[in-house]
Amino acid sequence: MTTSELLLEPRAIHRIADAAALQVTCREGSVWITLDGDPRDIVLEAGECFSTREHRRALIYAFGRARLRLSPLAAPATAARSRVQPCVPAAAAVDFAR
């Protein structure tokens, strides 16, 4: 996979068939990401990243106009668990399954 830019209009949904080894960087706006079978809701604001090594479908929902960068992960992660990481500020992942 090569790096690509994605512009989502408000309330748009983008589907990724297999999110494994993919990094989603929110460059503008905010988005909600959910992975099939994962109870967490992942919210990214501008400057935050999300990546996973799990082979799951991902749905990305734009709260408003959002600009994303989709890129392959540079190096293998030590754990198979998906992760949210700050590209600039802290990221938010909420587990509503508790």
Q: Does domain 4-95 have CATH number 3.40.50.970?
A: no
pLDDT band at 53 (very low <50, low <70, confident <90, very high): confident
What is the structure's pLDDT at 83?
61
pTM above 0.85, yes or no: no
Given the structure tokens 């999300």, which residue do they identify? 50
Residue 82 CA to residue 38 CA, distance in Å, equals: 10
- Two tokens, residue 27: 């460059």
Nearest 10 degrees: CA dihedral of 41, 89, 22, 58? 20
User: Which among 9, 25, 5 is positioned nearest to 64, based on CA atoms?
Assistant: 9
Q: Could you read off the pLDDT of 54-86 as tens digits, one per residue?
A: 999 999 999 999 999 999 987 655 554 566 666
Contacts of 75 (CB under 8 A, 6+ apart): none
Q: Which among 72, 66, 85 is positioned nearest to 10, based on CA atoms? A: 66
- The residue extents of the domains of the chain are 4-95
